[in-house]
Chain A
Amino acid sequence: MRFPFTRRAAAADTAPGVHAQPFWSYRPRSDREAGDAVVSNLLLHWFPSQVYKPSLAWNYSAWLGTITGALFFLLVLSGLPLMFLYVPSVERAYQSVKDLEYVVTFGWWIRAVHRIGAHLMVIAVVLHLARVFFTGAYKNGVGQGQRREWNWVIGVVMLLLTLFLSFTGYLLPWDQLAFWAVTVGTNIASAVPGVGPRMRELMIGGRAIEQATLIRFYVLHIIVLPGALGALVAYHMWRIRKDGGLAKADAAALPSEARDTGPVPTKTYTLLGVARGTSPAVTARSPEAPDLTVNAVPDLTRRALIVVLGTFALVSILASAIPSPLEEPANALITPNPAKAPWYFLWLQEIVTDTTVRFGSFTINGAFLGGVILPGLLVALLTVWPWLDRSPASAAGLWFPKSRRRQNLVFLLLMILILAFTFVGMFMRGPYWNLYWPWETWPGIPGRI
């Protein structure tokens, strides 16, 4: 396809640095066009031309990072129409969400996709972090200039950003669930000694959750946090390329016996026809040996497509099947019983409860321990762990290697504990924060009439 004017200025075709066609071409007429096409295509630019076969295995990475990326993309996509329809004002936020739910064409579905996608993203991010920990994928192999530990730190920051994105989105419907979840969440944050109350004041723009809080959370939710996350995603991806792909690929780079690879060329590229040709048969000890790698297009891209489209399909089906709740309009005078933090902070709320001790009229508030010390310590440990992990480089890219057994078990135990506390907070805490078994029914919530 060509624009008419480019035919007149035929000289432009040959001018250096000019790509006269409106789109990149699948059928390049020259090596130059083919090279241009590779460079200007996001996916071809993103992936290497060849990838180490075992890196693509479902049971190594479970493609959790790709799933997270797909969810983030879906959230941005579904967030755009929501921005046109949602009104970030205390008077109108609730009714604009009601309108989305009831009268906007596909409104309920877009909102449900955004909600389910956000919940799934928190889960996917945490699972991704767990996978990277269990496989020691933050460890450097033998490659030069590898900085995997820094990509891990970026990942921890992105986890926190994801949680904060979800938390800021929680408030926007301005219903009782939103209002009180944010009340509980920000109250936990205010337990930091000294600066806590000021931090809370800065966060919610005053001393009560009001219009100032809503607009703050809204701007953070739609511009600041997604922008920061998007930039970090790009850097995260770039670092993976610079670190030589997944940690799994490092295993191939370890010294090994030279193998006869048969009469195929090595170190040549045949992506969209660039640098055609053959070279003499060689023996290879390179990680890019042809018998260990596959072409990114289509083997990697097809799998990526399966993961991304599969994620979309799953979210869409869940969104159609699970109605998004919208409780009563926010009311600062009526606390729902029980008032719970967002589910991914419930383990903290549960620990705050369990560490709050009463001696008669004297109370030791657990908010400092459960809400500040413990999560702070966990995040700090996560951040510096690559430097504390002294296991050999050969442990990278393997599930539960012997040399990392102890730290993996401790990590697993912590994850299980957090899950258990979350479960108790979600399903076993009823009115007045009393404990109930999951199969017990809570006392009915009274109505007006």
Chain B
Amino acid sequence: MEKRTSSPFPRIDRPVLAAIGIVLVGATVFFAWSDRQHDYKYYQYRFRQMVAEKLGAERADTIPAGLQQVWVPGLRRADRCVTCHQAVSWKGFETAEEPYRTHPVELLRSHPPERFGCSACHGGQGWAVDTAAAHGEVAHWEEPLLGKPLGEAYSLVDNKAALMQMNCNICHRYERETRGADMINLAKRLVQEKGCRACHVINNRGGTIGPDLTWIGDKAPEQYDMTRLSGQATAFAWHVAHFKDPKQMVQDTVMPNFHLSTKEAQALAMLMLSWRKAPFDAAFLPGVPRTDPQTAEERQAEADMKSGPGAWFVQTGCFVCHSIAALKVRSPAQIGPDLSTAVEDTQKRFGVTVDQFLKNPTGTMSVVLSRQIVLTPEQKDVAIQKLREAFAEYQRLVAEGKNPLAAAAEGGQK
């Protein structure tokens, strides 16, 4: 064999190669070990112990080990929650702490997990298998677990676990009342009482002064202006703050302050976020209404307003803020004064006749008449004519000994 000079670095090369080899083995052991590290291993071990203590070792042996999931193709969900929450369908652990607690039976009967999964109601990230990621407390997951901790973080009034009702209402949105969803029910009553539809379209019905709210729950958090919001910058927090004082969130809004309580504002914010498109087919909604029909009385009342003597005020949009009691028009919001007496009222309030006021409005009306309700000079003449008719009717009723304004105010308080 011929001789050649060896590499100038052989002495160091061999130990370097050996060290690299050891590092590589170490790296392999490290990732293989990391792959085995999961919270569920401990929870499964604990639950098995609990079952063995309570029901005997034989029952404990029937508990499946390893990753578990509920696969719901129709909802495109693979919920791995049951990997840790193994007690869900085991009787006898109703008072145990999570994740070893039995799920309330009644709800499971109407919403079997094999059909609905877990995250469709509870929120959270069904794909994940570790606590933080599964409960959605990680970056880039916008559906956190709608449980008590989150409710406490938002200081929900009364029921801290109520946030989950938002997910009930994704399917049950057209019900007037849903069993068990007290906050959502409260919000739905408020929507009727306060007459939100005067300005907002909800389920294809309503006025167009405010934005359409039908799918407001799908509005992305990035699309909210959070600059005036103090504290948590979330869509939910924005809605709560906005319901309590609309002007504070949107300076030039015409939405009135309804002086809602904190609970009412929270309930309405939940209702807003629940109005989302359901990403599954109608087969999941047996027995749940799929449209939002009006009752016969509601239709009658609306028809009366639209075709009665005050129809012009309804069509023009004045009724959103003003009742015209003499003509049986009742405003849902009742922000402005009753227009039955506008003819003499403008004299008292502004010192001008109603003609002059409509042509040169001041205050709030100058904003409304230049932006929300823009009238041509001819239409203004019609308005003056109609207001005179309303005043004449008012005087006739007063002469008969009735007080139309008081009756309308009572109606509004109902």
Residues on A lying within 8 angstroms of B by beta carbon are: 50, 53, 56, 91, 95, 98-99, 101-103, 105-106, 108-109, 175-176, 264-265, 268, 270, 276, 278, 290-291, 293-295, 299, 302-303, 305-306, 309-310, 312-313, 316-317, 319-320, 325-328, 331, 333-337, 444-449
Contact check, A448 vs B6: say whether CB atoms are below 8 A apart.
Answer: no
Contact check, A313 vs B150: say whether CB atoms are below 8 A apart.
Answer: no
CA distance A328 to B138 in the complex (A): 11
CA distance A438 to B273 in the complex (A): 35
Which residue on chain B has the smallest CB distance to residue A278?
B2
Contact check, A447 vs B17: say whether CB atoms are below 8 A apart.
Answer: no
Contact check, B129 vs A103: say whether CB atoms are below 8 A apart.
Answer: yes
Stretch at the interface among B229-237, B295-303, B376-384: B229-237
A278: B residues at CB distance < 8 A: 2
CA distance A95 to B69 in the complex (A): 14
Interface contacts beyond A56-B9, A317-B23, A317-B27: sample of 7 additional A-B pairs, CB < 8 Å, sorted by A: A50-B4, A268-B2, A290-B5, A295-B4, A447-B232, A448-B142, A448-B234
Contact check, A449 vs B235: say whether CB atoms are below 8 A apart.
Answer: yes
Instruction: Confirm or deny: B414 has a beta carbon within 8 angstroms of a beta carbon on chain A.
Output: no
Contact check, B31 vs A448: say whether CB atoms are below 8 A apart.
Answer: no
Minimum C-beta distance from A76 to chain B (A)? 19
Contact check, A446 vs B31: say whether CB atoms are below 8 A apart.
Answer: no
A99: B residues at CB distance < 8 A: 78, 127
Contact check, B235 vs A448: say whether CB atoms are below 8 A apart.
Answer: yes
CA distance A313 to B24 in the complex (A): 5
B371: A residues at CB distance < 8 A: none
Contact check, B143 vs A448: say whether CB atoms are below 8 A apart.
Answer: yes
Contact check, A320 vs B142: say whether CB atoms are below 8 A apart.
Answer: no
Question: How big is chain B's contact interface, by range?
Answer: 35 or more
Contact with A along B146-190 (1 / 0, CB 8 A): 100010000000000001000000000000000000000000000
Contact check, B221 vs A299: say whether CB atoms are below 8 A apart.
Answer: no
B163: A residues at CB distance < 8 A: 449
CA distance A449 to B166 in the complex (A): 11
Q: Give residues of chain B (31-64) contacting chain A, Cβ–Cβ below 8 Å.
A: 31-32, 34-35
Contact check, A446 vs B233: say whether CB atoms are below 8 A apart.
Answer: yes
Contact check, A103 vs B4: say whether CB atoms are below 8 A apart.
Answer: no
Contact with A along B230-258 (1 / 0, CB 8 A): 00111110000000000000000000000
B411: A residues at CB distance < 8 A: none
Q: Which 4 A-B pairs have the closest CB atoms?
A: A299-B7, A446-B221, A316-B27, A98-B127
Instruction: Confirm or deny: B8 has a beta carbon within 8 angstroms of a beta carbon on chain A.
Output: yes
B17: A residues at CB distance < 8 A: 302, 305-306, 309
Contact check, B24 vs A56: say whether CB atoms are below 8 A apart.
Answer: no
Contact check, A316 vs B24: say whether CB atoms are below 8 A apart.
Answer: yes
Minimum C-beta distance from A328 to chain B (A)? 5
Contact with A along B277-309 (1 / 0, CB 8 A): 000000000000000000000000000000000
B10: A residues at CB distance < 8 A: 299, 302
B142: A residues at CB distance < 8 A: 328, 447-448
B140: A residues at CB distance < 8 A: 175-176, 325-328
Q: Give residues of chain B (205-249) contacting chain A, Cβ–Cβ below 8 Å.
A: 220-224, 226, 232-236
Q: Give residues of chain B (117-157) contacting chain A, Cβ–Cβ below 8 Å.
A: 127-130, 133, 139-144, 146, 150
Contact check, A446 vs B6: say whether CB atoms are below 8 A apart.
Answer: no
Instruction: Given A264-B4, A299-B6, check contact A449 B273 (CB 8 Å).
Output: yes
CA distance A93 to B22 in the complex (A): 37
Minimum C-beta distance from A77 to chain B (A)? 14
Contact with A along B309-348 (1 / 0, CB 8 A): 0000000000000000000000000000000000000000
Contact check, B30 vs A320: say whether CB atoms are below 8 A apart.
Answer: yes
Residues on B lying within 8 angstroms of A by beta carbon are: 1-10, 13-14, 16-17, 20-21, 23-24, 27-28, 30-32, 34-35, 67, 69, 76, 78, 80, 127-130, 133, 139-144, 146, 150, 163, 220-224, 226, 232-236, 273
Instruction: Given A56-B7, A103-B67, check contact A319 B226 (CB 8 Å).
Output: no
Contact check, B127 vs A320: say whether CB atoms are below 8 A apart.
Answer: no
CA distance A449 to B272 in the complex (A): 12
CA distance A52 to B119 in the complex (A): 65
A310: B residues at CB distance < 8 A: 20, 23
Taking a contact as CB atoms closer than 8 A, the residue among A175, A303, A320, A336 that contacts B27 in the complex is A320
A108: B residues at CB distance < 8 A: 35
Instruction: Given A320-B27, A449-B273, check contact A102 B80 (CB 8 Å).
Output: yes
A309: B residues at CB distance < 8 A: 17, 20-21, 24
CA distance A196 to B270 in the complex (A): 46
A331: B residues at CB distance < 8 A: 220
Which residue on chain A has the smallest CB distance to residue B28?
A316
Minimum C-beta distance from B284 to chain A (A)? 18
A328: B residues at CB distance < 8 A: 140-142
B69: A residues at CB distance < 8 A: 103
Contact check, B13 vs A334: say whether CB atoms are below 8 A apart.
Answer: no
Taking a contact as CB atoms closer than 8 A, the residue among A56, A264, A276, A317 that contacts B30 in the complex is A317
B76: A residues at CB distance < 8 A: 91, 95
A306: B residues at CB distance < 8 A: 13, 16-17, 20
Contact check, A53 vs B5: say whether CB atoms are below 8 A apart.
Answer: yes
B224: A residues at CB distance < 8 A: 446
CA distance A175 to B17 in the complex (A): 40
CA distance A145 to B221 in the complex (A): 65
Which residue on chain A has the smallest CB distance to residue B13?
A302
CA distance A50 to B1 in the complex (A): 15
Contact check, A294 vs B4: say whether CB atoms are below 8 A apart.
Answer: yes
Taking a contact as CB atoms closer than 8 A, the residue among B128, B143, B222 that contacts A334 in the complex is B222
Contact check, A449 vs B21: say whether CB atoms are below 8 A apart.
Answer: no
Question: Can you list 18 A-B pairs with a CB-CB distance of less than 8 A?
Answer: A56-B7, A56-B9, A103-B129, A106-B35, A270-B2, A291-B5, A295-B4, A299-B10, A303-B13, A305-B17, A319-B31, A320-B34, A331-B220, A333-B220, A445-B222, A446-B221, A447-B221, A448-B273
A295: B residues at CB distance < 8 A: 4
A447: B residues at CB distance < 8 A: 142, 221, 232-235
Instruction: Given A290-B5, A294-B5, A448-B221, check contact A109 B31 (CB 8 Å).
Output: yes
Taking a contact as CB atoms closer than 8 A, the residue among B1, B5, B23 that contacts A313 in the complex is B23
Contact check, B24 vs A449: say whether CB atoms are below 8 A apart.
Answer: no
Minimum C-beta distance from B219 to chain A (A)? 9
Which residue on chain B has the smallest CB distance to residue A263?
B3
B139: A residues at CB distance < 8 A: 325
Contact check, B24 vs A312: say whether CB atoms are below 8 A apart.
Answer: yes
B3: A residues at CB distance < 8 A: 264, 290
CA distance A448 to B273 in the complex (A): 9
